[in-house]
């Protein structure tokens, strides 16, 4: 990285000396007068699988969108591997970093969307190799070979030349997962990836994500309504309500012995 | 029966055909094809510039565009005819038709660009794609697909406005018909044949566009 952070509020490292993969430092996000996230502080360690749960409108998806730079925080700082994502504090002022810096940071982050967002004008293969070839400058033959491996992994080895519109929702989402992984991201953001799918194909998508969680050390930040999946895959669960973390802990703690009344009410409603 | 008393005479209808076809190929079709090409390319450039250029430049472009759209084509043709006397009339016609329709096509492209779902832009951000690649590989191809039918309709409408080329002294089909009528005192057959040739060319084209419209929609 060319641009190093100069100053920060808060320490970069955790108490054990490890630099967190993601750090939210007093992040505030407003949409007009509505405050979606209040002074949010949290950290995610390398290899963590963190699931964000909570009622809709509690700001979970906004957190993923902030990490992907699809939204911009109104205050506070987000650090990725100790480096500022979009803003830095200089001489007591919050300064926006250049687009070039932001784009360098984005390369470490992949996202899978609720609505897949595949490019309909490209084939499945073209969707997957687009960014590796044009952003990471991977030789095309190598990118194609990797794309075929990824398609194998998501169970669609014979769909390379299909167009997204010829695929079912579950197949499209599996291609979207392969496309995100083709960038070899350190962080994978999963934004309600099964919410737009028919119930009978939810399982196939979740099982692929379970495999990825088992076989790689990618850091995952997950927003989902699939509580069993959250339980299986994550090592930490954050319960959100009204733009604040109301409780956090291991999946066992949160799902089996929640302490906060709001967590109990939420789980009672969704389980 | 005297030839002057019948309304329709097949001999004249056939006699005028060679002149008509010649005017159709060398003027009507020629100007439409080249004019459309200019309009399609320039229109896309205008649409992209209005989206990406710094505000002052985009503002000037919008003003010029509205100016062209708010004045009649015939006025623009006549103005150019007297202002740019060095340019051959046919070339001038192609340029003015191209520029005039570029301003309409730019609006079609704008609508097509705006119709690309937000999720597509978000996916390009999530993949760290450059602005250039986002436009050329994702946004423009999708926008073009949805705009093709509307662009096609403008081509047909340009085709039907080619008789205005007569104000540049260019002999299009209608002017050829009038010239034939003037010499032979038979206007009915000549102008009817011009109309039929317009119909023969534009009706199948519009059917084709209608079919394209159905095929080009992305069904998810």
A70 inside 8 A of chain B by CB: yes
Mind telling me how many Å the CA of B102 is from chain A's nearest CA?
25
> Residue B106 has which token pair?
């730019």
- Per-residue pLDDT at B217: 65
From the list A70, A131, A165, the residue facing B127 with the nearest CB is A131
B157 in a structural domain = yes
Of A267, A243, A218, A226, the residue nearest A51 (C-alpha): A226
Range(s) of the domain holding residue B185: 17-219
Q: How confident is the model at residue A119 (pLDDT cuts 50, 70, 90)?
A: very high
Q: What is the pLDDT of residues B118-166, one digit of tens each?
A: 999 999 999 999 999 999 999 999 999 889 889 999 999 999 999 999 9
- Per-residue pLDDT at A7: 46
Of B82 and B210, the one with more pLDDT: B82
Question: Residue A192: which region, alpha, beta or left (left: phi > 0; alpha: psi -120 to 50)?
Answer: left
SS3 content of chain B, % helix, strand, coil (to 5): 85, 0, 15
Mean pLDDT (chain A) is 92
Q: What is the pLDDT of residues A182-222, one digit of tens each?
A: 999 999 999 999 999 999 999 999 999 999 999 999 999 99
Mind telling me how many Å the CA of B128 is from chain A's nearest CA?
6
Q: What is the pLDDT of residues A221-244, one digit of tens each?
A: 999 999 999 999 999 999 999 889
Q: How high is the ipTM of this complex? A: 0.92
Q: What is the pLDDT of residues B68-118, one digit of tens each?
A: 999 999 999 999 999 999 999 999 999 999 999 999 999 999 999 999 999
- For residue B102, give the CATH number of its domain: 1.10.3720.10
Report the pLDDT averaged over residues B198-209: 90
The residues of B whose Cβ lies within 8 A of any Cβ of A are: 117, 119-120, 122-123, 125-130, 133, 137-138, 141-142, 145, 218-220
Contact criterion met (CB < 8 Å) for B123 and A165: no
Q: What is the pLDDT of residues A128-155, one digit of tens each?
A: 999 999 999 999 999 999 999 999 999 9
Residue B117 burial (10 A CB sphere; 0-12, 13-18, 19+): middle
The reported pTM is: 0.87
Q: Is the pLDDT of residue A1 over 70?
A: no
B178 in a structural domain = yes
Best probe of the B interface among A117, A170, A181, A188, by most B CBs < 10 A, is A117
> Residue B20 has which token pair?
């008509």
B199 in a structural domain = yes
A68 inside 8 A of chain B by CB: yes
C-alpha span between B190 and B175 (Å, rounded): 10
From the list A106, A115, A118, the residue facing B125 with the nearest CB is A106
C-alpha span between A62 and B42 (Å, rounded): 40
Q: How many interface pairs between A and B have CB atoms less than 8 angstroms apart?
A: 65
- Per-residue pLDDT at B12: 87
Of A229, A235, A232, A225, the residue nearest A267 (C-alpha): A225
DSSP string for residues in A165-192: GGS-HHHHHHHHHHHHHTT--SEEEEES
Contact criterion met (CB < 8 Å) for A113 and B145: no
Structural contact between residues A191 and A112, judged by C-beta atoms closer than 8 angstroms: yes
A122 to each of A125, A165, A225, B117, B139, how far by Cα in Å?
8, 10, 31, 15, 12
Contact criterion met (CB < 8 Å) for A121 and B128: no
Report the pLDDT averaged over residues A1-17: 58
C-alpha span between B93 and B77 (Å, rounded): 7
- Per-residue pLDDT at B1: 46
Q: How confident is the model at residue A271 (pLDDT cuts 50, 70, 90)?
A: confident
Mean pLDDT (chain B) is 91
- Per-residue pLDDT at A15: 81
B114 in a structural domain = yes
Chain B environment of A130 (Cβ under 8 Å): 127, 129, 133, 137
B170 in a structural domain = yes
Q: Is the pLDDT of residue B211 over 90?
A: no
Contact criterion met (CB < 8 Å) for A117 and B120: yes
B169 in a structural domain = yes
Report the DSSP beta bridge partners of residue A249.
A237
DSSP string for residues in B139-198: IHHHHHHHHHHHHHHHHHHHHHHGGGGGGGT---HHHHHHHHHHHHS--HHHHHHHHHHH
Q: Is the pLDDT of residue B62 over 90?
A: yes
Q: Is the pLDDT of residue A2 over 80?
A: no
Q: Is the pLDDT of residue A5 over 60?
A: no
Contact criterion met (CB < 8 Å) for B137 and A134: yes
In chain A, which among 97-136 make CB contacts under 8 A with chain B?
Answer: 103, 106-107, 109-111, 113, 115, 117-122, 130-131, 134-135
C-alpha span between B191 and B20 (Å, rounded): 10
Lowest mean pLDDT among A37-46, A67-76, B5-14, B20-29: B5-14
B171 in a structural domain = yes
Write the CB contacts of A203 (distance below 8 Å, at least 6 apart in sequence): none
Residue with tokens 């960038």: A183
- Per-residue pLDDT at B63: 94
Q: Is the pLDDT of residue A11 over 70?
A: no
Structural contact between residues B103 and B69, judged by C-beta atoms closer than 8 angstroms: yes
Q: How many domains does chain B have?
A: 1
B10 in a structural domain = no
Mind telling me how many Å the CA of A35 is from chain B's nearest CA?
23
């Amino acid at each position: 990285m060319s641009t190093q952070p100069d100053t920060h509020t808060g320490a970069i490292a955790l108490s054990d000396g490890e630099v967190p993969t993601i750090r939210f430092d007093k992040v505030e996000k407003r949409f007009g007068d509505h405050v979606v996230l209040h002074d949010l502080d949290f950290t995610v360690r390398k290899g963590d699988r963190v699931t964000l749960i909570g009622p809709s409108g509690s700001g979970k998806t906004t957190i993923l969108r902030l990490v992907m730079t699809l939204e911009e925080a109104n205050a506070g700082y987000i650090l990725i591997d100790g480096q500022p994502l979009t803003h830095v504090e200089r001489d007591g002022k919050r300064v926006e970093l250049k687009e070039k810096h932001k784009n360098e940071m984005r390369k470490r982050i992949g996202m899978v969307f609720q609505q897949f967002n595949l490019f309909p004008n490209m084939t499945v293969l073209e969707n997957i190799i687009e960014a590796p070839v044009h952003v990471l400058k991977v030789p095309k033959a190598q990118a194609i070979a990797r794309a075929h491996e990824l398609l194998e992994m998501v169970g669609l080895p014979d769909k390379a030349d299909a167009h997204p519109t010829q695929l079912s929702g579950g197949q499209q989402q599996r291609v979207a997962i392969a496309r995100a992984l083709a960038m070899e991201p350190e962080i994978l953001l999963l934004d309600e990836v099964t919410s737009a799918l028919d119930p009978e194909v939810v399982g196939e998508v979740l099982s692929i994500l379970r495999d990825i969680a088992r076989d790689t050390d990618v850091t995952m930040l997950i927003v989902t309504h699939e509580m069993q999946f959250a339980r299986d895959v994550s090592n930490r669960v954050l319960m959100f309500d009204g733009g604040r973390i109301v409780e956090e802990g291991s999946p066992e703690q949160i799902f089996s012995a929640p302490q906060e009344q709001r967590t109990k009410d939420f789980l009672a409603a969704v389980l | 029966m005297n030839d002057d008393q019948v309304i329709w005479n097949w001999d004249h209808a056939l006699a005028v055909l060679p002149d008509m076809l010649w005017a159709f190929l060398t003027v009507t079709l020629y100007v439409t094809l080249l004019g459309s090409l200019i309009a399609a390319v320039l229109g896309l450039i205008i649409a992209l510039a209005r989206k990406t250029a710094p505000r002052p430049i985009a503002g000037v472009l919008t003003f010029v565009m509205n100016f062209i759209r708010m004045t009649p084509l015939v006025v623009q043709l006549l103005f150019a005819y007297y202002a740019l006397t060095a340019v051959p009339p046919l070339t001038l016609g192609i340029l003015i038709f191209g520029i005039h329709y570029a301003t309409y096509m730019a609006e079609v492209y704008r609508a097509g660009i705006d119709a690309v779902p937000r999720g597509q832009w978000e996916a390009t951000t999530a993949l760290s794609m450059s602005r250039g690649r986002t436009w050329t590989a994702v946004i423009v191809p999708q926008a073009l697909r949805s705009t093709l039918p509307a662009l096609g309709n403008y081509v047909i409408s340009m085709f039907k406005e080619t008789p205005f080329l007569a104000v540049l002294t260019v002999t299009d089909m209608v002017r050829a018909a009038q010239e034939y009528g003037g010499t032979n005192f038979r206007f009915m057959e000549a102008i009817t044949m011009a109309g039929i040739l317009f119909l023969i060319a534009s009706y199948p084209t519009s059917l084709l566009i209608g079919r394209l419209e159905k095929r080009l929609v992305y069904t998810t």
